[in-house]
Amino acid sequence: MINSLYSKKVLAHFKNPKNMGKLKNPDGVSTVGNPVCGDVMRIYLKIGVKDKKEYIKDIKFQTLGCAAAIATSSIITQMVKGKLIVDALKIKKKDVVQALGGLPTVKLHCSLLAAEALAKAIKDYKVKKGKNEQNN
Amino acid sequence: MMKKVYLDYAATSPVDPAVFQAMKPYFLKFFGNASEPHSWGVEAKKAVEKARSQVAELLNAKAEEIIFTSCATEAINLAHKGLIEALKLSGFKARPHIITTLIEHKAVLEACHHLKQLKLAKITYLSVDKYGLVDLKDIKKAIRPETVLISIMLVNNEVGTIEPLEKIGLMLKTVNALRKKQKLQKIYFHTDATQAIQYLDCNVDKLGVDLLSLTGHKFYAPKGIGALFIRQNTLLTRQQDGGGQENNLRSGTENVPYIVALGKACQLVKENKRKEGKRIAGLKNRLITQVLKIPQVKLTGHPDKRVPHIASFVVLGVEGEAMLLYLNDQGVAVSSGSACTSGELKPSHVLLAMGIKPEIAHGSLRFSLGKDTSKDDIDYLIKIFPPIVKKLRQMAPKL
């Protein structure tokens, strides 16, 4: 069967998105996607350090897009909140799809977008941190 | 219980109880094959011919100019491919040329694409203005000696704009009179009248068309029954070979109950058209006025030259499918031309052709009204819709 319907989990995240909103003075930010294509995702990160290891202390998202785009944004923030950066970076689009109980075939690109947004936000944090250390 | 409001009549409509009653006996009692001469067959045949007259009457056509198909898509395919093939068989030498528009339904666009792919025809796709209106001058300019068909929808299904068919028909009459003297091929005129049947005058002589396609499920007949009007002396080659039913143009045992249903539905349209059109237009205007009060919302399609039952908008900074699903969550059914609802990556080809930018077209929404739509329904929608837009806008990043 062609999978064209949303799973219960996708709809639940779409209707009640987790970690939706902005963070003040984030340590890392990324915006991916393009309004021309219909999807734009922005991820804000706060990074903490525990036992000398960096972890995602807080994460928020804002998304313009369809149910799949909003649901993937929501679930990825839930998946990585509290996780070490190194572990967060291991999350691939297939993990996002799996966590949502599947996505319609035409919507698979939304999961890619979420993984991309997360990786890019972490990269932004690292670049900013590098600059700060240089300045010090 | 949650209120349920169906505002997607342009997608499909429920079967009218009177239509259902009319078709019922043809499942159980009068089940005969209309091609058989015994009494069972005769009963079926009589019913089919009565329905044919009912459809013809609504279009001001002759009964023998109507053939039944499974849907508008089939009628459209038969009209386009059938005409091109018939011309080829009759010895038309040049590659035939078809003029159509960028905003046609996929059935027309894909049928034309098919003919082009097989090198059976050349196609000109006319652009439209910001309201979705095709320009008469553009049509005239596109005409070539080898032009054989102009195919333009009477009403656009996504934005409800009414195309100037009568004017095109009149222009074509003059053009064809001249072509006759020049010994050039007559240009036939097809219209997809799918969204027009219910509320507009679909008199084929007034419209000046040679071919008209329609489907029953937009006006309270079941899905799976349509019809094609074929003006006398219009040559078509059948697309479905077999036992020669429907004047040898569409073989296959007649779907008697559905044909009866289409006839009955046409009769009801004829009786109710004026009054119901007025009522629906009033509700639609109320909906439009109220929805436009939401900031950054624009009406799509023509403000006046539009059918009574379609109100379509673009909502800036929100994606269409997301609005659709939140509305659905509160019991309201609508449709959207966003990429995410079409299953493609591009938003509606109609909105793009009207010059609406893709980032805006993604936020499109169509509300379409019908016989069970009440003022209460519209007021309910007007109450729940603005908070949905607000919520989704809050979710979106500022760009």
**DSSP track, B358-378:** HHHHTTEEEEE--TT--HHHH
- Shortest CA distance to B29 belongs to which of B18, B19, B39? B39
Same domain membership, residue B227 and residue B168: yes
Q: Among B229, B252, B268, give the residue marking a domain's end.
A: B268
| B213: amino acid identity, one letter | S
A62 with B396: Cβ contact below 8 A: yes
Helix (H) / strand (E) containing B147? strand B147-151
**What integer pLDDT is reported at residue B322 of this predicted model?**
95
Q: Do B358 and A15 touch (CB under 8 A)?
A: no
Residue of B nearest to A32 (CA): B397
Cβ contact, residue pair A4, B343, below 8 Å: yes
Same structural domain for residues B9 and B57? no
Containing structural domain, residue B292: 5-13+273-395
Position B370 scores a pLDDT of: 98
Write out the two tokens for B120. 């059976």
B9 and B21 together in one domain:
no
What would you report as the CA-atom Rg of chain A, rounded to the nearest whole angstrom?
15
Q: How far is CA B317 from CA A56, B201, B364, in A?
A: 29, 38, 11
Contact present, A117 and A32 (Cβ < 8 Å)? yes
Contacts of B321 in chain A (CB under 8 A): 66-67
B171, B81: one domain: yes
Closest alpha carbon within chain A to B339:
A38
| pLDDT tens readout for residues B137-172 | 999 999 999 999 999 999 999 999 999 999 999 999
Between the alpha carbon of residue B9 and those of residues B15, B74, B200, B201, the distances in Å are 11, 21, 16, 19
Distance CA A79, CA A91 (A): 9
Q: Is A66 a catalytic residue?
A: no
| Residue B139 and residue B157 in one domain | yes
- The CATH number that applies at residue B287 is 3.90.1150.10
Q: Is B155 helix (H, G, I), strand (E, B) or coil?
A: strand
Q: Which of residues 345-364 of B touch A (CB under 8 A)?
A: 345, 347, 357-359, 362
Per CATH, which fold does A8-130 belong to? Sufe protein. Chain: A (3.90.1010)
Q: Does B318 touch chain A (CB under 8 A)?
A: yes
- Say yes or no: B173 and B249 in one domain: yes
Are residue B74 and residue B213 in the same domain, yes or no?
yes
pLDDT of residue A60: 98
B343 to chain A, any CB pair closer than 8 A? The answer is yes
- Mutation for B interface: A20, A29, A32, A36, most B CBs within 10 A: A36
Q: Encoding tokens for residue A74?
A: 């929501």
**Is the same domain home to B253 and B339?**
no
Q: Tell me the pLDDT tens digit for each residue of B284-304.
A: 999 999 999 999 999 999 999
Cβ-based contacts of B340 with chain A (< 8 Å): 38, 65-68, 106-107
Mutation target vs A (from B330, B340, B360, B391; most A CBs, 10 A cutoff):
B340
Identify the domain boundary among B221, B237, B268. Answer: B268
**Does the pLDDT of residue B136 top 60, yes or no?**
yes
How big is the A-B interface in CB pairs under 8 Å? 66
Which of B268, B297, B314 is the endpoint of a domain? B268
Put the strands of the sheet holding B364-368 in their side by side order: B297-300, B310-315, B364-368
State whether residue B325 sits within 8 Å of chain A by CB: yes
Q: pTM to 2 decimals?
A: 0.94
Has the ipTM of the complex gone over 0.95? no
Residues B338 and B251 in one domain: no
Mean pLDDT of chain B: 96
Same domain, B124 and B245: yes
Residues B90, B218, single domain; the answer is yes
Q: Where are the domains of chain A?
A: 8-130
List pLDDT tens digits, range B267-289: 999 999 999 999 999 999 999 99
Contact B397 A31 (CB under 8 A): yes
Q: Identify whether residues B289 and B313 lie together within a single domain.
A: yes
Number of domains, chain B = 2
- Convert the pLDDT of each residue in A21-78 to its tens digit: 999 999 999 999 988 888 999 999 999 999 999 999 999 999 999 999 999 999 999 9
Q: Where in chain A does DSSP place strands (E)?
A: 28-34, 39-50, 53-64
Structure confidence at residue B344 as a pLDDT band (50, 70, 90): low
Burial bucket for residue A46 (CB in 10 Å: 0-12, 13-18, 19+): middle
**Separation CA B208–CA B152 (nearest Å):** 12
- B359, HSE (Cβ side, Cα atoms, 13 Å): 10
Distance separating alpha carbons of residues A84 and A82, to the nearest angstrom? 7
- The CA-atom distances, in angstroms, between B145 and each of A6, A8, B117, B179, B276 are 52, 58, 21, 8, 44
Per CB-CB distance under 8 Å, the chain A contacts of B326 are: 15
